[in-house]
Amino acid sequence: MADNFAQSVKQQADILKIVGEYVRLKRAGAQNYTGLCPFHSEKTPSFSVNVGRQFYYCFGCHETGDVFTFIQKIENVTFPEAVKTVAVKCGIPLPKREFSSPEEAAESRQRAKLIELHEIATGWFEQQLRSPEGALAREYLTGRGLSDEGIAKFRIGYAPESFHALRDRLQSVADSETLRASGLFSFKPQEDGSPGPLYSRFRKRITFPIANESGRIIAFTARALESGDKAGPKYLNSPETSLYTKGNVLFNLDKARQPIREANFALLVEGQMDCISVDLAGITNVLATSGTAFTEAQVRLLSRYTTRVIVNFDPDTAGANAAEKSIALLTEESFEVKVVALEGGLDPDRYIRERGAKEYGAALRAARRHQDYLIDRARQLFPQRTPEAKIKALNFLLPHIRRMPSRIARDEFASDAAQKLGIDSALVRQELKEAAAKRRDSITPASALTRAEQILLQAFSSAQNSEIYRVAEASYRQHEADFAKMRADVRDILTQLRSREDSADPLQSLSEPEHRQLLAGVFVSVHGAEPRPENVEEAVATIRRTSLEQQQRDLRAALQEAERQGRPEEVLTLTRQIHEAARMLRELD
């Protein structure tokens, strides 16, 4: 059964290893590891993985769950797909798949089909490149210095001129609706409203597959073999599909992610060809943004692997603008950014071909801090020595200064700029004070539970045959009225924990996401050992004290009312009850 299978996968899976493939984790206590949250953008780590209980929790965005939830969210897949992914990662053989709803099954089938289509298309394009029709394309690639190994590594192919050859190849694999959804074809809507026949989107083009993080091909970018109006744009990309969202993908991340982790920095270039050349030159921690500035989603994706980047964009105006935008986004997310400007105004691909990999490596080592690069850029843009030009240069730099999260770094950047631009530094400091004031570090406080509440939540989360659980359960039965006065969400959680099946995971037994978040927060915030029975007794005493104090306040209010309305019997009863409450309070102390 699928459920049993998921359970057995979960028992065998190591959450630290699975999450660690996406998040850089550091040890933070006996059971906890922390890192930058992959689900929201942040500068200081608030994401925790708890090894003992095999779950994760983020103090920033409160995302929480187990190894399956993690894969579901990060890979954007359904639960069965997540179970499968984890099983594959752990080398557990798969049973037949089952889905919770027909829609889910259909969606998953569609996705699998689209991936299959892309895989077949890739192989077919590769085959076309080797065919006689691919001769011109092969010539072009050889001219760009690409070896057969390089072509094979990046699975570069050729889309022939034919309008229908790819469709003919894929027709037996999927119906026309699925083919249309693949983005591999174009079609012209007909007068009768029908979508019209499918024809190849990519024709007479060299094809570069674009893979997702796990190496599955999900789109293509295709370079025209000929120039001129008839050939269309130089590069043509797949449209966005259910597999492919342009701003969410970094070209080559599937191959580069391990080298990036090892080198602890990523080299960022503009185009796929640059990326391929650099990789084949032996610098394998390289990624391409696909000719545009970075998106926030890409920054977040990258931050799972490193927070250090060297940017090497084309030196033309478009490249410089893209570089500035990327620097802005990256520094805002606390990345350490360096910039390479290659001598002779060359792009990485040509630089490597003309001067070799060794020289390119040397250029990378000489990369300058982004602050220095930007100050030089400001001087290039506003070269005059007039006060007006200096102010313009400063205004160009200020947004970049403001973006840096560290106050010290901002100060340093500003005084560097002041010195190099020859600006009166008092003026800069004034500007900077404002800039600094506008920054704020967002810190989300953990939900304020008392120590007693935390201990009781922990105790009732323990195995039901443990001593700690039995102590807690006995106290609960004895003082149910006091427990009933606890804050509502904690009380609800305790009720659900107490009624769960013995083998059930405490987090999974809670139905409300808010409850799961609260409990997960307790597990990761209480460092060290589980509470002991005497801690539970103290916690119960605290809960009872709070409850009794509340009871006393209520009774006193009722007493006043009874005295005011002149009801002596009630006054007597209430007085006795107040004394009783006071006696119990004294006993507790």
The least CB distance from residue 289 to Zn ion, in Å, is 24
Q: CA 438 from chain center: how many Å?
A: 26
The DSSP-derived string for 512-528 is SHHHHHHHHHHHHHS-S
DSSP 3-state of 144:
coil
Q: Which of 226, 234, 216, 227 lies closest to 271, judged by CA? A: 234
CB of 524 to Zn ion, least distance (A): 12
Alpha-carbon distance of 132 to 56, in angstroms, equals 54
Strands 266-269 and 286-288: parallel
SS3 of 55, please?
A: strand
Q: Quickly list DSSP for 278-311.
A: HHHTT--SEEE--SS---HHHHHHHHTT-SEEEE
139 CB neighbour count, 10 Å cutoff: 11
Contact positions toward Zn ion, by CB under 5 A?
A: 37, 39-40, 58, 60-61
The nearest distance, CB 522 to Zn ion, in angstroms, is 17
Nearer Cβ to Zn ion, position 255 or 300?
A: 300
Of 37 and 323, CB closest to Zn ion: 37
Q: 39 or 187, CB closer to Zn ion?
A: 39
Residue 236 β-bridge partners: 222
Cβ(183)–Cβ(244) below 8 Å: yes
> Nearer Cβ to Zn ion, position 19 or 129?
19
Is the Cβ of residue 63 or residue 453 nearer to Zn ion in the bound state? 63
Residue closer to Zn ion (CB basis): 64 or 252: 64
Residue 431 CB, nearest approach to Zn ion (Å): 33
Closest separation in Å from C-beta 569 to Zn ion: 59
Q: What share of the chain is helix, strand, coil (3-state, %, to 5)?
A: 55, 10, 35
SS3 195: coil
User: For residue 447, how far is the Cα from the chain centroid?
Assistant: 23
> Which CB sits closer to Zn ion, 47 or 265?
47
CB 418 to Zn ion: min, Å: 37
CA distance 158 to 135: 10
Distance between CA 527 and CA 529 in Å, rounded?
A: 7
Which residues, 6 or more positions from 555, have their beta carbon under 8 angstroms from its beta carbon? Answer: 574, 577, 578, 581
Provide the minimum distance between the beta carbon of 59 and Zn ion in the complex, in angstroms, as a whole number.
Answer: 8
At closest approach, how far in Å is the CB of 40 from Zn ion?
4
Question: What are the strands of the beta sheet with 217-224, ordered from one edge?
Answer: 157-159, 205-211, 217-224, 235-237
Q: For Zn ion, which is the closer residue by CB, 61 or 446?
A: 61
Residue 332 or 538: the one with the smaller Cβ distance to Zn ion is: 332
Q: Residue 60 or 348: which CB sits closer to Zn ion?
A: 60
Smallest distance from Zn ion to CB 13, Å: 21
Q: Are strands 55-58 and 64-65 parallel, antiparallel or unpaired?
A: antiparallel
- Residue for token digits 């005497």? 534
Report in angstroms how near the CB of residue 253 gets to Zn ion at its nearest. 21
Is 60 or 65 the residue whose CB approaches Zn ion more closely? 60
Instruction: Give the nearer residue to Zn ion in terms of CB position, either 36 or 218.
Output: 36
Residue 267 phi/psi, 5-degree rounding, is -100, 130
- Give the burial class of 524: count Cβ atoms within 10 A of its Cβ; 0-12 exposed, 13-18 middle, 19 or more buried: buried
CB of 86 to Zn ion, least distance (A): 21
CB of 41 to Zn ion, least distance (A): 9
Greatest alpha-carbon span in the chain: 109
Nearer to Zn ion, 45 or 506 (CB): 45
Report, in Å, the least distance between residue 47 CB and Zn ion. 6
Which has the closest alpha carbon to 365: 270, 265, 275? Answer: 265
CB of 74 to Zn ion, least distance (A): 12
Q: How far apart are alpha carbons 534 and 475 in whole angstroms?
A: 12
For 64, list phi and psi in degrees, rounded to 5: -155, 160
> Which token pair is 283?
């610098």
Cα Rg of the chain (Å, integer)? 31
Residue 61 vs 165, nearer CB to Zn ion = 61
Q: Is 535 exposed, middle or buried (0-12, 13-18, 19+ CB in 10 A)?
A: buried
Q: How far apart are the first and last CA of the chain?
A: 54
State the residue for tokens 């996406």. Answer: 22
